[in-house]
């Protein structure tokens, strides 16, 4: 690992680095899961005054004070100097990286939002663009106004990849916001031949986002990084962990395939090339396992729910399940209910419960309405319900971003019906 330090104020176009956390770990290290780490980073950035627009930063690749200064140091990398074609994610803290690529007259590729309309847009500034127009081209609105789509046959050859992160370790382990788009984008670039095994990957974060991350919480589809740029440091990770070698079709759901048209095209091409493109929910080996790739231990915990007793809710009615880990309190008079919507049709209640356990927001009861793509989670008090809403915001299961909020009405312990959510 190589580290180059910079003084606050170096790097070009300023950037407020007041209240800058010292290089190292401003956050407690050693959280037990990716979501623990994300929550600690988001909370710290907000509480320390380091968070920048758009706010709140929770659920996002967070923008931070000093992001422009960190982006400016991209110009100092040999990998950037050599690159002709640069892919930069559309996140706000990477705006300075997009500007640096445009000012250096490099071909700038930006992924389309949630990959809905393709993989890349190529940013094409107007002839004779001034510095001010280039700045506009680097913004999210400029990406819309000054871009042309790049299809699978566009022969993109990316020489440098710049991604956002919520947290990253000096070893190159990266944690995104939890939706997996950066990992999927890279895997798709591999599949279409746009990146090579030695294509450098850079991430740009605040110093406080550089943390110890246990390698065992990483998945085989997670993207690692070769360089970390902060407002005060440039870190070369010398990461030896292999990057994704292409799309792992057994981890792609039918729902995800339906939402990303270009993914369907890639699947067809790889199938014609003789590759196994069996999807997650079509794979025989996964028929009786948790398709969210939770650990065996968590899967066993999720499957220890009591069987429905005779006379319980008939087929087609909501499933009401008490959690054996935290049984319903007899001393509680009022239950606070959290509404969870936009559940994927193929999601199992055990997968939702596993996610709740990992986030440490286990309810006393789950009212599962899978056919209606929703569930109601009962908590003993308002504080527990509020914590659940905060923890579940931004969570994606089975390729769908969940809709989470407090239910419109509460129900008392003795009631047997689920209140409507309007």
Question: Do 161 and 173 touch, CB atoms closer than 8 A?
Answer: no
Q: Residue 408 and residue 338: Cα distance in Å, rounded?
A: 9
Axis crossing angle, helix 261-272 with helix 181-191, rounded to the nearest 10: 40
Question: Among 288, 328, 275, 260, which Cα is nearest to 114's?
Answer: 260
Backbone phi, psi, residue 107, to 5°: -75, 120
Q: Residue 47 and residue 38: Cα distance in Å, rounded?
A: 14
- pLDDT, position 283: 59
All structural domains of the chain, each given as residue ranges with its CATH number in brackets, are: 2-236 (3.40.50.10420), 249-286 (no CATH), 296-412 (3.30.70.330)
- pLDDT, position 32: 60
Can the peptide bond before residue 56 be classed as cis, meaning omega within 30 degrees of 0?
Answer: yes
Q: Which residues make Cβ contacts (< 8 Å) with residue 256, sequence separation at least 6?
A: 263, 398, 399
End-to-end Cα, the chain, rounded Å: 54
- pLDDT, position 27: 53
Q: Residue 309 and residue 89: Cα distance in Å, rounded?
A: 51
- pTM of the complete model beyond 0.75: no
Task: Report CA 178 to chain centroid distance, whole Å.
Answer: 3
Longest CA pairwise span in the chain (Å): 76
- pLDDT, position 149: 84
- pLDDT, position 261: 80
Per-residue pLDDT of the chain (422 residues; tens, 9 = 90+): 777 776 444 444 443 333 334 444 445 554 468 888 999 999 999 999 999 999 899 989 999 999 999 999 999 999 999 999 999 999 999 999 999 999 999 999 998 876 766 678 899 999 989 999 999 999 988 888 898 888 776 678 899 999 999 999 999 999 998 877 788 888 888 888 889 889 999 999 999 999 999 888 888 888 999 999 999 999 999 998 889 888 888 888 887 788 788 888 888 989 998 999 888 777 555 444 443 443 333 333 333 333 333 333 333 444 444 443 333 433 445 788 999 988 888 788 888 888 888 788 889 889 898 888 889 999 888 888 888 888 887 787 877 788 899 886 543 333 333 333 33
- pLDDT, position 408: 67
């Amino acid at each position: 690992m190589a580290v180059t330090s910079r003084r606050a104020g170096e790097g070009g176009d300023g950037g407020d680095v007041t209240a800058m956390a010292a290089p190292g770990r401003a956050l407690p290290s050693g959280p037990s899961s990716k979501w623990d780490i994300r929550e600690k980073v988001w909370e710290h950035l907000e509480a320390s005054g380091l968070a920048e627009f758009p706010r709140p930063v929770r659920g996002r690749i967070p923008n931070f004070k000093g992001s422009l200064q960190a982006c400016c140091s991209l110009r100092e990398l040999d990998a950037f100097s050599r690159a002709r074609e640069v892919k930069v994610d559309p996140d706000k803290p990477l705006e300075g990286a997009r500007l640096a690529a445009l000012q250096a007259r490099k071909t700038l590729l930006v992924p389309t939002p949630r990959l809905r309309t393709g993989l890349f847009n190529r940013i094409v500034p107007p002839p004779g663009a001034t510095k001010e127009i280039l700045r506009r081209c680097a913004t999210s609105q400029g990406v819309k106004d000054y871009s042309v789509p790049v299809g699978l046959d566009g022969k993109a050859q990316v020489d440098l990849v710049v991604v956002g992160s919520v947290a990253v370790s000096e070893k190159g382990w990266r944690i995104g916001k939890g939706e997996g788009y950066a990992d999927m984008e890279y895997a798709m670039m591999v599949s279409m031949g746009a990146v090579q095994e030695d294509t450098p990957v850079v991430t740009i974060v605040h110093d406080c986002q550089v943390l110890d991350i246990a390698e065992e919480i990483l998945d085989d589809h997670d993207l690692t990084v070769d360089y970390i740029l902060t407002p005060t440091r440039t870190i070369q990770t010398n990461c030896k962990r292999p990057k994704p070698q292409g799309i792992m079709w057994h981890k792609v759901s039918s729902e995800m395939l339906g939402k990303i048209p270009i993914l369907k095209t890639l699947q067809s091409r790889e199938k014609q090339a003789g590759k196994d493109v069996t999807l997650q929910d079509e794979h025989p080996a996964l028929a009786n396992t948790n398709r969210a790739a939770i650990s065996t231990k968590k899967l066993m915990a999720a499957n220890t729910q009591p069987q429905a007793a005779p006379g319980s809710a008939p087929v087609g009615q909501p499933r009401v399940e008490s959690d054996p880990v935290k049984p319903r309190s007899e001393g509680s008079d009022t239950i606070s209910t959290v509404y969870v919507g936009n559940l994927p049709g193929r999601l199992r209640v055990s997968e939702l419960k596993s996610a709740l356990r990992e986030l440490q927001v286990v309810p006393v009861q789950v009212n599962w309405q899978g056919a209606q793509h929703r569930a109601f989670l009962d908590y003993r008090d308002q504080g527990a319900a509020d914590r659940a809403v905060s923890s579940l915001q931004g969570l994606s299961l089975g390729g769908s971003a969940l809709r989470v909020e407090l239910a419109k009405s509460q129900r008392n312990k003795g009631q047997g019906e689920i209140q409507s959510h309007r």
